[in-house]
A and B are shown apart, each in its own frame.
Chain A
Amino acid sequence: MAARPAFARHDLLTWPLVGPFLRWRFSRRFLQAVLLAVSALILFDGFLGPQQSPKNLATVTVWIHYRGLVVLALLLVGNLFCMACPFMLPREAARWLGRRLGLQRNVPRPLRSKWPAVILLALFFYLFELYDLWASPWLTAWVIATYFLTALVIDLFFRGAAFCKYVCPLGQFNFMAALASPGEIRVREAAVCTTCRTKDCIAGNRQTGQRGCELWLFQPGKVGNMDCTFCLDCVYACPHDNIGLLARLPTQELWSDPRRAGIGRLGRRLDVTALLVVLIFGAYLNAFGMIKPVYALEQWLAARLHTTAEAPVLLLIFGVGLGVVPPLLLATAGWLSRLASGRRESVRETAQYFILSLVPLGFGMWLAHYAFHFLTGALTLIPVTQSFLNDIGLPAGEPLWQLGPIVPADWLFPLQAFFLYLGTFGSLVAAFQLAVSRYRTRQVALRAFLPWAALTLVMLVAALWIMFQPMEMRGTIFLGL
C-alpha cells in the first residue's frame, strides 16, 4: 500500500489541547450543551425581544454568525457544526423515551433516501424568500423551535440517526459542503481493520457501551464526508484507537466515485443528484434574492402574471431556478461530454457522475455570500448582546451600535471573488480527475472534461455577476407596496 503524503498524516485528534479535548468522551455533549444554551437564549429573544432584525439575538446569531462560522469551519476543517449540534440533546431524550414506550422502529425502506431532505431544502429556500425570514426575529425563532420539535418527533419513532441522515436540511448542507473540506474522519491504518473481528465502529463497543456509527458508515468502507456528522462515535468505539480526524487534499473525494459504505455510489443515486442540484443552484438563487435585479424581475413577472402577490412570482423563479435551468445545463454538458467521449451511457448517467465536480463551486458561492454577511456584521453581536442584557435587567453599558464589520469594505469583493475562484479551481480539478478515472485514455478524458469545464466557467461568470451587483438588504416590502 502506498504511503500517505506527509500532510495526510496530520490528525487533529493527536494535536495538543484540541486532541485531548475531542478524545474526551463528553466533549461532544459539552459542545452540544453550550449550543443548546445559546439556542435557548436565541429562542427567548426571538419570541420576546425587540422585533427589528439587526437588534435581536435570534436574527443576528442565526443569519450572520451561524451561517458565517459554519461555512468557515467547513472551509478550514470539516463538518464541525454537526459535531456540536444542539438538536442532539432533545433527540437523545426522544430516543430514550421512544425506547421506553416501545415506539421505535426502523425507517421504512421507501423513506431511506435524501428525497425528504431535498423537498425540505427547496421548501426552506422558497419560504426564506417569501417570508423574509432574515427580517423577522419571531419567524426565525419559530424556525428553530420547529427544527427542535421535528428532530424530537422523528427520533421518538425511528431508530438510528434517521433525522440526520434523511431529514435534516442543515445536515445535508454540511454533508455537501464537507465533500470539499480538508478534514475527514477515517481509519489511520487500513491493515488494523483487516484483523478486527468485532467491528465496533459500526456495531458498537460492548465493553464500554459506546454505540457505533448510527449513519451506517462502516469505517473500512467509508469514503469521504457524505453523511458523516463528525460525531466521533466510531472514534470512541474503536478498541484499536485506529480512527482519526485526518487531513486530506480538499475536494479529493470528488475525484472519483467509488462505492461508499452506507451510501453506495453518489453518481448512481438520483436523490443525491437532486440534493446536489438544490444545494448548488440554490446558492445562486439565495444570493440572487439579495441583489437589485431581482426587483425588476419580480415586477416583470408580477405584471405578466397579473398579480401583486409575491408567492406565485417567487414560485415561478424557484421553479425555473431549481427545476428547469439546472436540468437543462446538466443535460447539455452531459450530452456534449458523452458525445466527446463516445462512451455508451445515457446523458443522465454522465450528468449524475459529473455533477460531483460542481460541488466546490456551489460551496464557493455559499461561502462568498455568507462570508459577506459575516465579515460586514460580525461585531454587531456585541451591541446586540449588550442590548439583550440591558433588557433583561443585567447592566451591560450603552450598546456600541457603531460596531459592525471586521474587514474594510474594500476587501469584501476581492474576498468574495477569491472564494469563487477557489471553488472554480476545485471544480475544474474535480471534473478533470473524474474524467480521468472514468475514461480509458487521457485524450478521451480531456474531451469529456471540456463541456464540464465550460459549464463551470459559465457558472463562475454568473456568480461574479451576482456578487458584483450592489447588495440590497431587502425584506418586508414587495413591489413597492
Chain B
Amino acid sequence: MRLSFQYFLCFFLLSLTLLTACGRIQPAPADTTGVQIELAVDPASPAVGPARLLVTLTGPDGQPIDGATVEVEGNMTHAGMTPVFAQTTASEQGRYTVPFEWTMAGDWIVTVRVTLPGGEQVRREFPVRVGG
C-alpha cells in the first residue's frame, strides 16, 4: 500500500501538536543588576590539568562585592564531553578563587553564575582555549 498524503499530513500535524504543547523554552532573564563579572585564568596559558579561576565581582558603583556564591561550569564546545563544575563563597575584595580542572585540550566555554548576597542571580560566559 502506498503512503497517502493524508496519512503523512496526520503524522506531521501530530508532531506539530506535540511540539506546540511543549511550549517555548524560556530564554535566560536579562541582567538588570549592573554587576560586572570578570574572569582570569591561572596559569594564564591554561593547559590540561589543575588550574585556578579568578572571578572578580564589581557592583554598578565600582565597589567590590563580597559574600556572593560563585558557581563555575566549564563546557567544551564539542558535544559529548562531560562538564566540569566548581564553586566557592570565599572572597577577598570581590575576588573569588575557584579551584578548577581542565580535563581536555581545546575550546571551552566557562559559565560563571553568581548569586548575590541579596539573592539576585547574574551569569556570564567566557571562551577559554586550553592547550595540550
Q: Contact check, A404 vs B8: say whether CB atoms are below 8 A apart.
A: no
Q: Contact check, A473 vs B83: say whether CB atoms are below 8 A apart.
A: no
Q: Nearest-CB distance from A151 to chain B (Å)?
A: 14
Alpha-carbon distance between A53 and B80 when the two chains are bound, in angstroms: 8
Q: Which of B8, B78, B106, B132 contacts A93 (CB 8 A)?
A: B8
Alpha-carbon distance between A92 and B11 when the two chains are bound, in angstroms: 13
Residue A189 is within 8 A (CB to CB) of chain B in the complex:
no
Q: Contact check, A380 vs B8: say whether CB atoms are below 8 A apart.
A: no
Q: Contact check, A44 vs B22: say whether CB atoms are below 8 A apart.
A: yes
Alpha-carbon distance between A44 and B21 when the two chains are bound, in angstroms: 12
- Chain B residues near A96: list those with CB within 8 A: 3-5, 8
Residue A472 is within 8 A (CB to CB) of chain B in the complex:
yes
Alpha-carbon distance between A56 and B85 when the two chains are bound, in angstroms: 18
Contact A49:B78 (CB < 8 A) given known A470-B105, A474-B107, A480-B129: no
Residue A349 is within 8 A (CB to CB) of chain B in the complex:
no
- Chain A residues near B4: list those with CB within 8 A: 96
Q: Which of A97, A380, A393, A472 contacts B80 (CB 8 A)?
A: A380
Q: Contact check, B82 vs A475: say whether CB atoms are below 8 A apart.
A: no
Alpha-carbon distance between A340 and B84 when the two chains are bound, in angstroms: 57
Contact A97:B5 (CB < 8 A) given known A376-B81, A393-B23: yes
In the complex, which residue of chain B has the Cβ closest to the Cβ of A49? B25
Residue B76 is within 8 A (CB to CB) of chain A in the complex:
yes
Q: Contact check, A54 vs B78: say whether CB atoms are below 8 A apart.
A: yes
Q: Contact check, B107 vs A377: say whether CB atoms are below 8 A apart.
A: no
Q: Contact check, B15 vs A53: say whether CB atoms are below 8 A apart.
A: no
Alpha-carbon distance between A473 and B23 when the two chains are bound, in angstroms: 33
Residue B127 is within 8 A (CB to CB) of chain A in the complex:
yes
Q: Contact check, A474 vs B77: say whether CB atoms are below 8 A apart.
A: yes
Residue B30 is within 8 A (CB to CB) of chain A in the complex:
no
Interface residue tally on B, bucketed by range: 35 or more
Alpha-carbon distance between A44 and B18 when the two chains are bound, in angstroms: 11
Q: Contact check, A472 vs B5: say whether CB atoms are below 8 A apart.
A: no
Contact A477:B129 (CB < 8 A) given known A36-B15, A93-B9, A209-B2: yes
Q: Contact check, A48 vs B25: say whether CB atoms are below 8 A apart.
A: yes
Interface residue tally on A, bucketed by range: 35 or more
Residue B36 is within 8 A (CB to CB) of chain A in the complex:
no
- Chain A residues near B24: list those with CB within 8 A: 48
Residue A63 is within 8 A (CB to CB) of chain B in the complex:
yes
Q: Is the interface of A mostly helix, strand, loop or mixed?
A: helix
In the complex, which residue of chain B has the Cβ closest to the Cβ of A384? B79
Q: Nearest-CB distance from B104 to chain A (Å)?
A: 6
Alpha-carbon distance between A93 and B5 when the two chains are bound, in angstroms: 6
Residues 166-212 of A at the B interface (beta carbon under 8 Å) = 209, 211
Residue A302 is within 8 A (CB to CB) of chain B in the complex:
no
Residue A29 is within 8 A (CB to CB) of chain B in the complex:
yes
Q: Nearest-CB distance from A474 to chain B (Å)?
A: 5
0/1 string, B14-58, CB within 8 A of A gives 1: 010011001111100000000000000000000010000000000
- Chain A residues near B83: list those with CB within 8 A: 54-55, 401
In the complex, which residue of chain A has the Cβ closest to the Cβ of B15? A40
Residue B116 is within 8 A (CB to CB) of chain A in the complex:
no
Q: Which of B18, B78, B85 contacts A401 (CB 8 A)?
A: B85
Residue A348 is within 8 A (CB to CB) of chain B in the complex:
no
- Chain B residues near A376: list those with CB within 8 A: 80-81
Q: Nearest-CB distance from B126 to chain A (Å)?
A: 11
Residue A23 is within 8 A (CB to CB) of chain B in the complex:
no
Q: Contact check, A64 vs B80: say whether CB atoms are below 8 A apart.
A: yes
Q: Nearest-CB distance from A184 to chain B (Å)?
A: 26
Residues 138-157 of A at the B interface (beta carbon under 8 Å) = none
Q: Contact check, A132 vs B2: say whether CB atoms are below 8 A apart.
A: no
0/1 string, A215-228, CB within 8 A of B gives 1: 00000000000000
Alpha-carbon distance between A273 and B4 when the two chains are bound, in angstroms: 39
Residues 386-410 of A at the B interface (beta carbon under 8 Å) = 391-393, 401-405
Residue A471 is within 8 A (CB to CB) of chain B in the complex:
yes
Residue A337 is within 8 A (CB to CB) of chain B in the complex:
no
Q: Contact check, A477 vs B127: say whether CB atoms are below 8 A apart.
A: yes
Q: Contact check, B79 vs A402: say whether CB atoms are below 8 A apart.
A: no
0/1 string, A96-116, CB within 8 A of B gives 1: 110000000000000000000
- Chain A residues near B15: list those with CB within 8 A: 36-37, 40
Residue B69 is within 8 A (CB to CB) of chain A in the complex:
no
- Chain A residues near B77: list those with CB within 8 A: 53, 132, 134-135, 473-476
Q: Contact check, A473 vs B106: say whether CB atoms are below 8 A apart.
A: yes
- Chain A residues near B8: list those with CB within 8 A: 89-90, 92-93, 96
Residue A343 is within 8 A (CB to CB) of chain B in the complex:
no
- Chain B residues near A403: list those with CB within 8 A: 82
Q: Contact check, B79 vs A92: say whether CB atoms are below 8 A apart.
A: no
- Pull 7 A–B residue pairs with CB atoms less than 8 Å apart, ordered by A: A52-B75, A54-B80, A60-B79, A93-B5, A392-B23, A404-B82, A473-B76
Closest 4 CB pairs of A and B: A377-B80, A473-B106, A473-B78, A404-B82
Query: What would 18 more interface pairs be, CB under 8 Å, given A63-B79, A401-B85?
Result: A37-B18, A44-B22, A45-B25, A48-B24, A54-B78, A55-B83, A92-B8, A96-B4, A134-B77, A134-B79, A380-B81, A391-B26, A392-B23, A393-B22, A471-B104, A472-B105, A473-B81, A474-B77
